[in-house]
Amino acid sequence: MSTLSEAYTDHPLHLHQIIPLDFDSVRAVPESHVWPNSDDDFPPADVDDHGQFTTPVPVIDLSDPDAATKLIGHACETWGVFQVINHGIPSSLVQEAESEVRRLFSLPARQKLKALRAPGGATGYGIARITPFFSKYMWHEGFTIMNNSAIDHANTLWPNDEHARFCDVIEDYQKKMSILAEQLTKLIFKSLDISEEEEEMDQWWVDPSTALQLNSYPSCPDPSRALGLAPHTDTSLITILHQSSTIINGGGLQVFNDGVGWVPVVPVSGALVVNVGDLLHILSNGRFISVLHRVFVNQNLQRLSMAYFYSPPTGFRVAPLTKLVNSSGQVPRYRSVTVREFISIKAKSLDKALSFIEN
Ligand SMILES: O=C(O)CCC(=O)C(=O)O
Ligand SMILES: [Fe+2]
């Protein structure tokens, strides 16, 4: 059976496209990591009377599913991103997971390199997968987990008993994320008036393609010249993101909104961020926005995030939903592709991937 990690083995990378900088050892931003005027196009974020950042990205309460469904549909159409509260994931679990992520990235560089992603591999320690598309490196280190891969890598990171806590917490987090992702997906389809039977989605819940991406953006000697993560859209159906509460002037995570420009996604206590990915954009025939996002860094503070990518099984064919296309009198904007095929197109062409499957 085709797995998500196999979908990445077709695109081996060179070691310089995998090994992060040893951020602890640098006192200045090396030329390889200098981005020209990365914050020029970003106006200062709004601040309210209490000196708090205001966030126009919708925050949606999941405790009333009917009200949430409408708000989610609207947010997917106008933003491609929203935050959710009362999502059922215990805050203690999120905090434990964050502290395990902090423990991982605090290891010495030579130790982290023991879990380096293999050139043709998908899981383990390394820089962002989008790196080959840019001429500069990002101020970022990541750790990718698929299925049970945390165990294999954690064994090499922490040879003694110290890996058990990491593995237990991460496994629990993955399980809870998959339940929430399924719930959110169902609400999203309900907002489109699509029922699960129509789209034969039973296999989705049994065998979804998922990945947990742990991200660290170390403090940076000159944040205005560096970039944590370059603008990209996620390949997934949806992504559920926890970001550490680190307040970064102008926003750590920023999303692009057509009318507004770059907007910070300011951390809301207990909230999780939900992004629309490319696959949902295709299914919704372009109605839902696959949101462009990027990350800025801070001079004094490390920022952490955990992104859970959720997609249909790799063999599933994704195409604009028939009912949606028919009822709106539109034509399908995209041809059908399997999830695996789309991952492969994206790995080769990044932001042009959607245009390659346009009708
Ligand atoms: O760190 C973040 O807030 C965003 C991470 C992200 O966009 C990704 O992992 O794809
Ligand atoms: Fe992303």
Indicate if the pLDDT at residue 51 is higher than 60: no
Per the domain annotation, does 27 fall within a domain? no
Q: Which of 103, 303, 317, 340 is labelled catalytic? A: 303
Handedness of CA 11, 236, 230, 348 (dihedral sign): positive
How many whole angstroms separate alpha carbon 219 and alpha carbon 254?
18
How many whole angstroms separate alpha carbon 353 and alpha carbon 138?
22
Residue nearest to atom 3 of ligand 1 (CA): 253
Per the domain annotation, does 30 fall within a domain? no
Query: Helices 91-105 and 163-191: crossing angle, nearest 10°?
Result: 130
* Reported confidence tier of residue 201, pLDDT bands at 50, 70, 90: confident
Q: Is 110 a catalytic residue?
A: no
Per the domain annotation, does 31 fall within a domain? no
> What average pLDDT score do residues 55-64 get?
91
Give the pLDDT score at 1: 44
- Compute, in angstroms, the gap from residue 209 CA to the centroid of ligand 2: 16
Task: Indicate the number of domains in the chain.
Answer: 1
Best mutation site among 83, 244, 295 for ligand 1, i.e. most ligand atoms within 8 A of its Cβ?
Answer: 295
Pocket lined around ligand 1, Cβ cut-off 6 Å: 213, 215, 229, 234, 241, 243, 253, 293, 295, 305, 307
* Reported confidence tier of residue 40, pLDDT bands at 50, 70, 90: low
Question: In which domain, by residue range, is 8 found?
Answer: 4-21+39-357
Which CATH number belongs to the domain containing residue 124 in this structure?
2.60.120.330
Kind and range of the H or E element at 109? helix 109-112
Per the domain annotation, does 273 fall within a domain? yes
Per the domain annotation, does 350 fall within a domain? yes
Instruction: Give me 42's structure tokens.
Output: 């970003």
> What average pLDDT score do residues 19-45 get?
80
Per the domain annotation, does 292 fall within a domain? yes
Give the pLDDT score at 2: 57
Task: Name, in order, each residue with C-beta under 8 angstroms of 162's C-beta and a sequence gap of 6 or more.
Answer: none
pTM for this model (two decimals): 0.94
User: In this structure, which residues have their CB less than 5 angstroms from ion ligand 2?
Assistant: 234
In tens, the pLDDT along 138-197 reads 999 999 999 999 988 999 999 888 899 999 999 999 999 999 999 999 999 999 999 877
Indicate if the pLDDT at residue 247 is higher than 80: no
> What average pLDDT score do residues 114-120 get?
92
In tens, the pLDDT along 120-138 reads 899 999 999 999 999 999 9
Best mutation site among 57, 229, 276, 308 for ligand 1, i.e. most ligand atoms within 8 A of its Cβ?
Answer: 229
Per the domain annotation, does 33 fall within a domain? no
DSSP 312-359: S-TT-EE---HHHHHHHT---SB--EEHHHHHHHHHHHGGGHHHHTB-
Per the domain annotation, does 319 fall within a domain? yes
Of 32-41, 68-77, 198-207, 277-286, where does mean pLDDT reach its minimum?
Answer: 32-41
- Compute, in angstroms, the gap from residue 323 CA to the centroid of ligand 2: 29
> What average pLDDT score do residues 76-81 get?
97
